């Protein structure tokens, strides 16, 4: 036992000695480039968005730097993986703020991760600026929290209206058990029921599920007019569409952005034809947006989730614009004030701005339909825009 | 176990069993991990060190409490994460002051209790659940116990994810408050760290008292031969149940701390894989020693955070790389040192 | 088939270490064709280890085993094919196999079906009890029958040398007598060389031609049963009067 | 038959089946309180099962066990010490990965759950443990792990562990098996000393030298049934015993 | 295995009330299913199909599990990784065809690793089977050289196959041709030997060799031209790789651990380490997101009485039943089978009576891992793959083998299908997300009432 006591004593002593020492050593650096943190889910369920977002941001930074930077200073991105999980987001956040001394964080791609780190950012006065997180709760997360992605609540209202307008009265839903997909489903159902529709079946699945036939069998047995799919990962979205067709269902399918992603359409194949989705999309008439997509394809050889790509890209430019004013990457308050005032025209839309909750205003959802297999190509991403989402 | 007896009988023919090499490995491991920790602190500075130490404190509570079950009682439980989650969720539900009514997402009742009122409830509920589970699990042993404890971890996770009326499912629960003494809220990182370390110290003290008491000795005997110790007048099931519940209560405490520290929890923190990592660090550190679990938890935390700084490793693979390292370490330990780095017991 | 040398098995300076424990320490012994030899000694003397060293089951760190004039360094499962069969301690039979299958296991490697059947018949002939129950599971038999079965299984390999490790351990006196009788019968009738490790000294000395006495991993005596009965060597060994150093549990006070 | 007032354990129609095998078959025996009783019989005659039933290691399938005048239909292992019974096992079952000292200590301390949480080693425990370890000659080896001891030492330690219980009745399952003469003498000595202290000793053995020498009373089992019982030399000369067991 | 039987003995004393309770439980389940069928026969039929489809995969896993378990008495968690390796092997080889080549993965490091594993396993196998003969003929030095040369060649071949998966059929043609040639030659000689009297056989071997070689060439050429065979050749390569990795783990790791200790839990934890490391490595190589496999035959659903089932699912059911029957014959009829059963009873004695236990157990591990990989492949084609699929499949296979009766082959297949059906019917009026909970609750209930499973090992 004496050896243990000695060991324990040793640790305690070392730990006590080292804490002040460590505090003394933690220095800061105000070197040449502006340092901006990036937290995206490079792995985990939100991998596709995270990867696209990181790449889009890097592309934007390279463009800015190639054009001479901001007031002559370069931008440096410090990327951390938030893995679509609150806990990992907190760790990544702490690493970014404590180790790298970052005051501006672009991210994250998952609402769960965002909600985990947001309270810390709010307390520390660090700006968190996401292009992808859609959970309605984020609106209330604080003063320093911004996003260019549309709130799920709006998406749900639009989808509910669309369903009703298309003559759907009995709806079956299946959604992934993640905050995003659940949020979409919930708001959709709420609006749909408000309009007088009836929900005849509800199923959920865990993110690592690959076999949905049981759930789908039950849903189809309830004879719905339409099926609504809300997925977090393109993979599950695509697979559900495929498997439901395999089970002999030929009615309409409605969904959101995920099941019409490139990977999802590749998995679903012809089964996805005719699938309708309410998404935010880059206006084909928006030259800036098309240019960004073109550059991205040239650089990385693929394009997926174009709107989120553009959103992540715009975030960097908006931040850069504000840094021009503040000229200090440690001045989070200045950045915040700038963001509240800014009106921006970029890849994802013209003249959008932020309201007092940090929510983006000035962007709208559209309804799209997936094309038959033979008509899909790289330029149309496999779907056509039917028009703006019906209101009311 | 009778394999062991068999082997020993055979060896007994030719003299006493060979002694395990008790080289200085223990001391080397200790110094290595501590040195690593110190070096890390010096290199990284205070802020991050505080975060890491807090994570360490929480995992150490888990590891020490799991060691009571695995190392001292010989029940290889992979389901400990379930109690951790129960503690965290109880704290979250009771103490969260978020009012979800104003939001459009799933809403749950939030009684908005203060931290210290919710804490005993967290511990108690983890203990109660453990009692129920333990009564059923008491009959299982060895690899079947491993299997059903896998089951418990999965069932617990499923409840966190799917019992939406209580846990908000995948949305998670946020705005979980920090501990507060009256009006003094421990919202600083250092204050919380100290609080967590005090909790850890308490848990270590309690565990130390348990394992050095008569109760602890009985546990080790149960680990070695359940039927034999029963003949000497001990109700084995009660002892097993008691240590299972105690250990679960400590895990519940760790969960409550986690919830309060991160202020947000969702089911992703309580997946099966985390539980497998947890058992890996307990075995890695050493079975049937408290110190070993502390060492294991420390190595575990340092491993992940240390690997973030490896230049050749893309950041997104740090978690996986750590898992690879832990897996390989586990294999090597089973090969050369089945009792773990500073352990006192071989499975 | 037989080697040129009179000595069929020769151990030279065998040392076996289990970690720090020296189970055997320079043991040399030999057996001639047709002999029956006993290895005696107290617990922990290394008796069983001698047999295990021959069978390649013990970590031999030094020394050589020669079998029919050639060095024996095959793996355990190949040694059986060399004509050495080992009947381990403790009635270890395959409990989930029938008696017949158990016996077949003794020469599973043999391709020749008719030879297998011939051996099976001769073994069943030697053990009539087994013949009656040959379709039953081995787990349903009594201890004595299991021991017979284990010996029979050893004989299925048609061994030139049969190694028996404590064949009477834990058996009732009546069965002990039977086992010894069978061993004697095998030794005489089938003309098999036998090496037997036993703690029942009285019984085993009746049936062997020669015996070695082991203590603490060394051979302390070798001779005929008579010579062992005459000298006090066994008493000395068992009471620890030889080399009273080292050994921990074997204090002689109070004896 | 021994007279019942001096009987410590009395079984009536004791039965135990393993599937179709009747390991113990309606066994009715009485074991006298004083002296040493030995149980012998061919392999598989149910000796160990009998001991396991008495100590509660196996549940009864039928019959009654009367211990000190108390009739039991169910014997629970953890209650057997309350009936004054303790035992050793055929395959030595020590707590392998704890020290010899702790192996003894574990049977000395508090049985009740909650008090045991707060109990530390008391001087009285220490004294008993030391006494027992010295008695079986294992005092020098007290810090060694039980699993690292030699076979004989393990046997001694197991007997020591039973002695530390200070019970009325000791069930020893093959205490002499596999021991070389020197160790054997020591175990014999211990057994005699315990008898002289007034304990009841019941042991199973195949070693006929010892069976002839030590016990006062002999019980012979055959295929789960009582073959015969009585005074040692008388029993050993009976026809049926010679036929079923001794074969000389 | 005295531990095991001892434990079984102790738990065998089912008291009357427990039996009664079990009966009530069984009746309740039967009643529930009858009620479900009466509610919606079509859904019940669909659920049955679904249950049998997944049950086939569980059964396949459980069979392999049981085989290994009843030989070495520990649950080898590597099986989870084997399933994932099997499935990802297909993805690795066929990623150019899946997802329109979106995620091309061909990593030289991975190829080298598998080439080395192949070489190592081949080296070991040659030594084990022919080592003695080679040494006797050529002497130890040159024997070693020959062995190394052959093994190195095979390893390099595997490396090449993995590096150019798009030409798998061409690359495989020589190997298949050679195998076919040997097989045909052997068959011809045997047939001739049966039909023709002995003395007139002088020219037969040469003729047989020529004909056999010709047929082999035909096979090889046919294969090289059959582009569609690539997918199914990938199955072979993938299962083979998983099997070899399993064998390598046994020979390189488990044997060493067994030599040092003999504790089932130590083995279990070691294999847990293997599982953790391999799962993480799979994620590192292939990323954690799920991926689909290319379409196979039988992907279009059939309508049967209002329910639909894919031809591929029927195929999977057939595979698991065939695997079961094959294994059963192997165990009952062959000397190998007897060796396996003998090793299950007592490994050391089996060695002592002349069984090369290392070899037999290695083959058992190989077979088990191949079955697991096959299960992974079937599951992957049926739905999709993701790196952690192995863990879930492993647990389901484990449950199936325990529910069926530990160490009993019949139990494993019954358990597998039973688990598949129970899972489906269990969530008849529960939400689908509770599926895993249902299987574990069933497991725990089962173990409480029938500790030995449905069909215990004698």
Verify whether the Cβ–Cβ distance C57 to E351 is below 8 Å.
Answer: yes
What is the reported pLDDT for C3? 39
What is the reported pLDDT for E2? 33
The tens digit of pLDDT for each residue in E40-49 reads 888 889 899 9
**Cα of B335 to nearest chain C Cα, Å:** 16
Q: Is B322 within 8 Å of E277 (Cβ atoms)? A: no
Residue from A99, A107, A57, A61 nearest A81 by CA: A107
Confidence category of residue B62, pLDDT binned at 50, 70, 90:
very high
Confidence category of residue E101, pLDDT binned at 50, 70, 90:
low
Chain B residues touching D55 at Cβ < 8 A: 231
Q: What is the mean pLDDT of residues D216-244?
A: 89
Domain contains A92: yes
Judgement on whether residues A370 and A244 belong to the same structural domain of the protein: yes
Chain B residues touching E265 at Cβ < 8 A: 76, 142-143, 146, 347
| Torsion C207-C213-C215-C217 (CA) sign | negative
What is the reported pLDDT for C5? 47
Structure tokens at A45: 């369920």
Domains and CATH numbers, chain D: 1-83+169-180+200-248 (3.40.50.300), 85-166 (3.40.50.300)
Chain B stretch 219-238, residues whose beta carbon is closer than 8 A to a beta carbon of chain E: none
Residue from E387, B78, B322, B168 nearest A45 by CA: E387
**Cα of B13 to nearest chain C Cα, Å:** 4
Find out whether the peptide bond into B308 is cis, omega within 30 degrees of 0.
Answer: no
Question: Does CATH number 3.30.460.10 belong to domain C4-238?
Answer: no
- How is B242-303 classified by DSSP, letter by letter? HHHHHHHHHHHHHHHHHHHHHSEE-GGGG-HHHHHHHHHHHHHH-TT-HHHHHHHHHHHHHH
pLDDT for residue C164 is more than 50: yes
Chain C residues touching D181 at Cβ < 8 A: 42, 235, 238-239
Verify whether the Cβ–Cβ distance D151 to C43 is below 8 Å.
Answer: yes
Most confident segment among A116-130, C219-233, E265-279: E265-279
Confidence category of residue C162, pLDDT binned at 50, 70, 90:
very high
Instruction: Check CB contact of D221 with chain C, cutoff 8 Å.
Output: no
CA distance E125 to E281: 27
Residue from C238, C235, C233 nearest C250 by CA: C238
Domain definitions of chain C by residue range: 4-238
pLDDT for residue D170 is more than 80: yes
Question: Does CATH number 1.10.3470 belong to domain B23-309+316-336?
Answer: yes
What is the reported pLDDT for E197? 67
Q: What is the pLDDT along chain A (392 residues), one digit of tens a residue?
A: 445 555 555 555 555 555 544 444 444 444 578 999 999 887 766 777 888 899 999 999 999 999 988 888 899 999 888 877 777 888 788 888 887 889 999 988 887 788 888 888 888 899 999 988 887 778 888 889 999 888 888 888 899 999 999 999 999 999 988 878 888 888 899 899 999 999 999 998 888 788 888 889 989 988 999 999 999 888 889 999 999 998 889 899 999 888 888 888 888 888 899 999 998 888 888 888 889 999 998 888 778 788 888 999 999 999 999 998 888 888 889 999 999 999 999 888 888 999 888 888 888 888 999 999 888 887 788 888 888 888 76
Most confident segment among B186-190, C245-249, D75-79: D75-79
Judgement on whether residues A181 and A39 belong to the same structural domain of the protein: no
Contacts of E443-447 with CB under 8 Å at 24 or more apart are E443/B147, E443/B148, E443/B151, E443/E399, E443/E402, E443/E403, E444/B136, E444/B148, E444/B151, E445/E25, E446/E402, E446/E403, E447/B139, E447/B140, E447/B144, E447/B148, E447/E402
Burial-class residue B206 by CB neighbours within 10 Å (0-12, 13-18, 19+).
middle
Chain D residues touching E12 at Cβ < 8 A: 18-19
**DSSP classification of residue E200:** G
Mean pLDDT of chain E: 86
What is the reported pLDDT for B99? 64
Task: Identify which of B37, B46, B170 has the shortest CB distance to residue A182.
Answer: B170
Verify whether the Cβ–Cβ distance A81 to B162 is below 8 Å.
Answer: no
Which stretch of A63-67, B105-109, C246-250 has the lowest confidence by average pLDDT? Answer: C246-250
Verify whether the Cβ–Cβ distance E12 to D18 is below 8 Å.
Answer: yes
Judgement on whether residues A139 and A224 belong to the same structural domain of the protein: no
Chain A residues touching E310 at Cβ < 8 A: 246
Between these two residues, B187 and D200, which has the higher pLDDT value?
Answer: D200
The tens digit of pLDDT for each residue in E277-315 reads 999 999 888 877 778 888 888 878 888 888 888 899 999
Residue corresponding to tokens 């001292």:
B72
Instruction: Check CB contact of C40 with chain B, cutoff 8 Å.
Output: no
Judgement on whether residues A145 and A275 belong to the same structural domain of the protein: no
What is the reported pLDDT for B8? 43
Domain definitions of chain B by residue range: 23-309+316-336
Domain contains A189: yes
What is the reported pLDDT for E306? 80
Verify whether the Cβ–Cβ distance B45 to A23 is below 8 Å.
Answer: yes
What is the reported pLDDT for D188? 92
Verify whether the Cβ–Cβ distance A21 to B41 is below 8 Å.
Answer: yes
What is the reported pLDDT for E4? 35
Confidence category of residue B155, pLDDT binned at 50, 70, 90:
very high
What is the reported pLDDT for A392? 62
The tens digit of pLDDT for each residue in E121-134 reads 999 999 888 888 88
Measured from the Cβ of residue D189, the count of other Cβ atoms closer than 10 Å reads 15
Residues of E at the A interface (Cβ-Cβ below 8 Å)? Answer: 40, 42-43, 46-47, 50, 54, 99-100, 102, 283, 287-292, 299, 301, 303, 308, 310, 379, 382-386, 388-389, 392, 423-424, 427-428, 431-433, 435-436
Tell which of E58, E102, E289, E439 to mutate to test the A interface (max A CBs under 10 Å).
E289
- Cα separations in angstroms, A338 against A60, A119, C83, C86, E1: 20, 21, 93, 89, 75
Tell which of E7, E13, E18, E452 to mutate to test the D interface (max D CBs under 10 Å).
E13
**Cα of E300 to nearest chain D Cα, Å:** 52
Instruction: Check CB contact of C249 with chain D, cutoff 8 Å.
Output: yes
* Domains in chain A, number: 2
Judgement on whether residues A89 and A236 belong to the same structural domain of the protein: no
Verify whether the Cβ–Cβ distance E389 to A210 is below 8 Å.
Answer: yes
Chain C residues touching D149 at Cβ < 8 A: 249
Residue corresponding to tokens 């425990």:
D125
Structure tokens at B291: 């110190």
Instruction: Check CB contact of C198 with chain D, cutoff 8 Å.
Output: no
Q: Is D55 within 8 Å of B231 (Cβ atoms)? A: yes
Task: Identify which of B224, B228, B238 has the shortest CB distance to residue D89.
Answer: B228
The tens digit of pLDDT for each residue in C35-54 reads 899 998 887 788 889 999 99
**DSSP classification of residue D79:** G
Domain contains A318: yes
Confidence category of residue B87, pLDDT binned at 50, 70, 90:
very high
Which stretch of B65-79, C135-149, D2-16, E66-80 has the lowest confidence by average pLDDT? Answer: D2-16
What is the reported pLDDT for A111? 79
How far does CA A126 lie from the centroid of its chain?
A: 19
Which stretch of A24-28, B272-276, D156-160, D172-176 has the lowest confidence by average pLDDT? Answer: A24-28
Mean pLDDT of chain B: 85
Q: What is the mean pLDDT of residues C231-249?
A: 60
Judgement on whether residues A226 and A93 belong to the same structural domain of the protein: no
Verify whether the Cβ–Cβ distance D77 to B230 is below 8 Å.
Answer: yes
Verify whether the Cβ–Cβ distance E10 to D18 is below 8 Å.
Answer: no
Confidence category of residue D134, pLDDT binned at 50, 70, 90:
very high
Instruction: Check CB contact of C83 with chain E, cutoff 8 Å.
Output: no
The tens digit of pLDDT for each residue in E215-267 reads 999 988 988 888 788 889 999 999 999 999 999 999 989 998 888 887 888 99
**Cα of A231 to nearest chain B Cα, Å:** 13
Residue A234 belongs to what domain range?
Answer: 153-279+366-388
**DSSP classification of residue B78:** S
Instruction: Check CB contact of B155 with chain E, cutoff 8 Å.
Output: yes
What is the reported pLDDT for A14? 54
pLDDT for residue E319 is more than 90: yes
**E7 to chain D: closest CA residue:** D58
Chain E residues touching B76 at Cβ < 8 A: 265, 268-269
Angle between helices B46-67 and A2-25 (to 10 degrees): 160
Verify whether the Cβ–Cβ distance D116 to B2 is below 8 Å.
Answer: no
What is the reported pLDDT for E14? 45
The percentage of residues in chain B with a pLDDT greater than 90, rounded to a whole number, is 52
Judgement on whether residues A242 and A356 belong to the same structural domain of the protein: no
Contacts of A347-351 with CB under 8 Å at 24 or more apart are A347/A282, A347/A286, A347/A288, A347/A289, A347/A291, A347/A292, A347/A293, A347/A309, A347/A310, A347/A311, A347/A313, A347/A314, A348/A148, A348/A280, A348/A282, A348/A286, A348/A289, A348/A307, A348/A310, A348/A311, A348/A314, A349/A283, A349/A286, A350/A286
Contacts of E180-184 with CB under 8 Å at 24 or more apart are E180/E215, E180/E216, E180/E219, E180/E220, E181/E212, E181/E213, E181/E215, E181/E216, E181/E217, E181/E219, E182/E212, E182/E216, E183/E212, E184/E211, E184/E212, E184/E215, E184/E216
Touch criterion met for C and A (3+ Cβ pairs within 8 Å): no
CA distance A206 to C110: 56
The tens digit of pLDDT for each residue in C95-121 reads 888 899 899 888 888 878 889 999 999
The tens digit of pLDDT for each residue in E394-443 reads 999 999 999 888 888 999 999 999 999 998 888 887 888 888 899 999 89
Q: What are phi and psi of E301, to 5 degrees?
A: -75, 150
């Amino acid at each position: 036992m004496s050896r243990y006591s000695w060991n324990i004593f040793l640790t305690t002593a070392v730990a006590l000695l080292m804490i002040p020492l460590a505090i003394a050593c933690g220095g800061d650096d105000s070197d040449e480039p502006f340092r901006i943190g990036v937290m995206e889910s490079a792995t985990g369920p939100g991998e596709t968005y995270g990867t696209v977002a990181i790449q889009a941001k890097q592309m934007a930074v390279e463009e800015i730097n190639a054009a001479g930077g901001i007031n002559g200073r370069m931008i440096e991105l410090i990327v951390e993986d938030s893995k679509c999980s609150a806990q990992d987001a907190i760790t990544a956040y702490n690493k970014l703020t404590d180790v790298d001394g970052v005051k501006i964080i672009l991210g994250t791609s998952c609402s769960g991760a965002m909600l985990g780190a947001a309270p810390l950012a709010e307390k520390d006065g660090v700006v968190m600026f996401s292009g992808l997180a859609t959970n309605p709760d984020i609106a209330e997360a604080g003063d320093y929290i911004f996003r260019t992605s549309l709130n799920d609540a709006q998406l749900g209202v639009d989808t509910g209206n669309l369903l009703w307008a298309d003559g759907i009265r009995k709806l079956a839903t299946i959604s992934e058990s993640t905050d995003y997909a659940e949020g979409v489903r919930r708001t959709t159902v709420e609006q749909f029921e408000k309009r007088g529709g009836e929900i005849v079946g509800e199923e959920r699945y865990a993110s690592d599920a690959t076999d949905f036939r049981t759930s789908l069998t039950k849903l189809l047995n309830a004879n719905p007019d339409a099926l609504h799919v809300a997925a977090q990962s393109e993979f599950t979205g695509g697979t559900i569409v495929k498997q439901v067709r395999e089970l002999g269902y030929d009615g309409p399918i409605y969904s959101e952005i995920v099941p019409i992603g490139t990977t999802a359409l590749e998995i679903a194949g012809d089964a996805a034809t005719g699938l309708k989705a309410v998404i935010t999309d880059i206006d084909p008439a928006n030259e800036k947006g098309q240019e960004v997509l073109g550059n991205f394809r040239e650089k990385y050889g693929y394009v997926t989730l174009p709107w989120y790509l553009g959103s992540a890209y715009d975030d960097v430019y908006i931040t850069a614009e504000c840094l021009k004013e503040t000229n200090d990457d440690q001045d989070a308050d200045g950045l915040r004030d700038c963001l509240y005032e800014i009106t921006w025209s970029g890849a994802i839309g013209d003249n959008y701005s932020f309201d007092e909750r940090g929510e983006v205003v000035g962007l709208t959802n559209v309804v799209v339909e997936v094309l038959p297999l033979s008509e899909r190509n790289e330029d149309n991403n496999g779907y056509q825009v039917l028009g703006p989402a019906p209101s009311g | 176990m009778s394999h062991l007896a068999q082997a020993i009988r055979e060896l007994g023919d030719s003299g006493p069993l060979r002694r395990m090499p008790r080289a200085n490995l223990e001391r080397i491991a200790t110094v290595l991990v501590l040195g690593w920790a110190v070096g890390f602190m010096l290199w990284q500075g205070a802020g991050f060190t505080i975060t890491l130490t807090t994570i360490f404190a929480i995992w150490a509570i888990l590891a020490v409490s799991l060691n009571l079950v695995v190392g001292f009682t010989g029940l290889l439980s992979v389901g400990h994460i379930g109690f951790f989650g129960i503690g965290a969720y109880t704290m979250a539900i009771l103490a969260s002051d978020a009012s979800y009514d104003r939001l459009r997402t799933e809403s749950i009742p939030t009684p908005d209790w203060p931290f210290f009122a919710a804490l005993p409830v967290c511990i108690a509920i983890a203990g109660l659940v453990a009692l129920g589970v333990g009564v059923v699990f008491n009959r299982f042993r060895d690899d079947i116990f491993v299997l059903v404890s896998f089951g418990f971890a999965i069932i617990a996770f499923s409840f966190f994810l799917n019992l939406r009326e209580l846990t908000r499912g995948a949305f998670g629960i946020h705005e979980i408050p920090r501990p507060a003494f009256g009006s003094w809220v421990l919202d600083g990182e250092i204050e919380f760290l100290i609080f967590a370390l005090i909790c850890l110290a308490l848990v270590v003290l309690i565990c130390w008292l348990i394992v050095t008491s008569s109760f602890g000795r009985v546990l080790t005997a149960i680990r070695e031969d359940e039927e034999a110790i029963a003949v000497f007048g001990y109700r084995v099931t009660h002892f097993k149940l008691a240590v299972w519940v105690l250990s679960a209560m400590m895990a519940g405490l760790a969960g409550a701390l986690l919830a309060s520290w991160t202020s947000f929890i969702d089911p992703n923190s309580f997946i099966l894989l985390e539980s497998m990592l947890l058992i890996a660090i307990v075995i890695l550190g050493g079975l049937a020693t408290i110190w070993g679990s502390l060492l294991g938890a420390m190595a575990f935390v340092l491993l992940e955070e240390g690997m973030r700084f490896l230049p050749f490793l893309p950041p997104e693979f740090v978690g996986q790389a750590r898992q690879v390292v832990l897996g390989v370490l586990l294999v090597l330990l089973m090969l050369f040192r089945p009792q773990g780095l500073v352990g006192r017991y071989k499975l | 088939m037989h080697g040129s040398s009179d000595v069929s098995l020769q151990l030279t300076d065998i040392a076996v270490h289990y970690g720090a424990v020296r189970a055997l320490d320079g043991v040399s012994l030999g057996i001639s064709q047709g002999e029956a030899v006993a290895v005696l000694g107290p617990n922990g003397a290394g008796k069983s280890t001698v047999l295990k060293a021959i069978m390649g089951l013990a970590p031999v760190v030094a020394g050589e085993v020669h079998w029919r004039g050639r060095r024996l360094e095959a793996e355990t499962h190949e040694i059986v094919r060399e004509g050495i069969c080992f009947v381990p301690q403790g009635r270890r039979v395959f409990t989930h196999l029938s008696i017949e299958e158990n016996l077949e296991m003794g020469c599973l490697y043999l391709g020749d079906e008719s030879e297998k059947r011939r051996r099976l018949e001769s073994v069943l002939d030697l053990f009539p009890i087994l013949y009656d129950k040959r379709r039953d599971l081995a787990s349903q038999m009594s201890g004595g029958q299991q021991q017979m079965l284990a010996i029979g299984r050893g004989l299925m390999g048609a061994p030139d040398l049969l190694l028996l490790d404590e064949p009477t351990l834990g058996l009732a006196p009546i069965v002990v007598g039977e086992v010894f009788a069978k061993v004697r019968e095998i030794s005489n009738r089938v003309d098999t060389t036998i090496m037997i490790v036993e703690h029942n000294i009285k019984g085993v000395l009746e049936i062997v031609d020669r015996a070695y006495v082991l203590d603490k991993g060394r051979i302390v005596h070798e001779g005929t049963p008579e010579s062992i009965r005459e000298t006090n060597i066994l008493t000395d060994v068992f009471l620890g009067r030889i080399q009273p150093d080292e050994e921990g549990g074997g204090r002689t006070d109070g004896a | 038959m021994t007279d019942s007032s001096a009987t410590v354990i009395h079984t009536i129609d004791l039965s135990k089946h393993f599937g179709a095998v009747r390991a113990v078959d309606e066994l009715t025996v009485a074991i006298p309180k004083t002296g040493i009783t030995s149980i012998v019989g061919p392999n598989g005659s149910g000796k160990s099962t009998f001991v396991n039933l008495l100590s509660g290691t196996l549940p009864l399938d039928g019959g009654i066990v009367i211990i000190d005048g108390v009739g039991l239909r169910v014997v629970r292992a953890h209650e057997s010490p309350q009936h004054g019974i303790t035992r050793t096992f055929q395959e030595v079952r020590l707590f392998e990965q704890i020290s010899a000292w702790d192996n003894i200590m574990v049977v000395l301390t508090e049985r009740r759950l909650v008090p045991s949480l707060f109990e530390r080693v008391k001087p009285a425990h220490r004294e008993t443990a030391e006494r027992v370890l010295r008695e079986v000659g294992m005092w020098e080896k007290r810090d060694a792990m039980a699993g690292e001891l030699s076979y004989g030492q393990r046997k001694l330690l197991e007997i020591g562990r039973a002695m530390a219980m200070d019970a009325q009745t000791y069930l020893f399952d093959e205490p002499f098996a596999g021991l070389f003469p020197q160790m054997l003498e020591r175990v014999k000595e211990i057994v005699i000393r315990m008898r002289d202290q007034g304990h009841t000793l019941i042991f199973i053995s195949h070693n006929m030298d010892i069976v002839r020498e030590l016990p006062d009373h002999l019980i012979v089992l055959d295929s789960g049934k009582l073959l015969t019982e009585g005074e040692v030399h008388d029993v050993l000369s009976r026809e049926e015993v010679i036929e079923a067991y001794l074969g000389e | 295995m005295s531990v095991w039987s001892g434990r079984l003995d102790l738990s065998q004393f089912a008291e009357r009330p427990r039996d009664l309770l079990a009966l009530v439980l069984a009746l309740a389940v039967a009643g529930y299913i009858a009620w479900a069928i009466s509610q919606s026969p079509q859904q019940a039929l669909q659920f049955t199909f679904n249950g049998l489809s997944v049950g086939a995969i569980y059964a396949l896993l459980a069979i392999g599990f049981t085989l290994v378990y009843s030989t070495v008495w520990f649950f080898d968690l590597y099986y989870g990784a084997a399933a994932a390796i099997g499935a990802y092997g297909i993805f690795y080889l066929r990623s150019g065809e899946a997802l329109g080549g979106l995620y091309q993965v061909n990593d030289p490091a991975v190829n080298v690793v598998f080439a080395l594993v192949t070489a190592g396993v081949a080296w070991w196998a040659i030594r084990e089977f022919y080592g003695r003969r080679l040494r006797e003929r050529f002497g130890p030095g040159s024997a070693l050289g020959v062995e190394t040369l052959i093994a190195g060649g095979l390893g390099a071949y595997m490396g090449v196959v993995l590096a150019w998966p798009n030409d798998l059929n061409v690359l495989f043609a020589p190997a298949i041709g050679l195998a076919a040639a040997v097989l045909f030659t052997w068959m011809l000689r045997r047939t001739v030997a049966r039909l023709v009297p002995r003395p007139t056989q002088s020219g037969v071997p040469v003729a047989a060799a020529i004909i056999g070689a010709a047929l082999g060439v035909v096979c090889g050429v046919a294969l090289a031209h059959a582009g569609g065979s690539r997918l199914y050749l990938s199955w072979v390569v993938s299962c083979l790789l998983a099997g070899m990795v399993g064998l390598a783990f046994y020979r390189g790791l488990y044997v060493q651990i067994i030599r040092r200790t003999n504790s089932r839990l130590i083995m279990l934890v070691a294999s847990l380490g293997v599982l953790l490391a391999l799962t993480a490595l799979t994620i590192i190589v292939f990323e954690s997101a799920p991926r689909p496999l290319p379409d196979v035959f039988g992907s279009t659903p059939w309508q049967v009485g209002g329910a639909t089932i894919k031809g591929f699912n029927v195929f999977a059911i057939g595979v698991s039943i065939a695997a079961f029957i094959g294994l059963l014959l192997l165990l009952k009829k062959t000397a190998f089978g007897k060796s396996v059963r003998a090793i299950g009873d007592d490994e050391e004695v089996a060695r002592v009576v002349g069984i090369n236990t290392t070899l037999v157990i290695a083959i058992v591990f190989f077979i088990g891992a191949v079955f697991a990989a096959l299960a992974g492949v079937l599951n992957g084609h049926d739905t999709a793959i993701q790196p952690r699929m192995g863990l879930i499949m492993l647990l389901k296979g484990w449950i199936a083998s325990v529910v069926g009766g530990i160490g009993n082959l019949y139990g494993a297949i019954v358990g597998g299908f039973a688990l598949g059906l129970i899972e489906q019917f269990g969530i008849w009026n529960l939400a689908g997300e509770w599926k895993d909970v249902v299987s574990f609750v069933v497991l725990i209930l089962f173990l409480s009432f029938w500790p030995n499973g449905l069909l215990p090992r004698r």
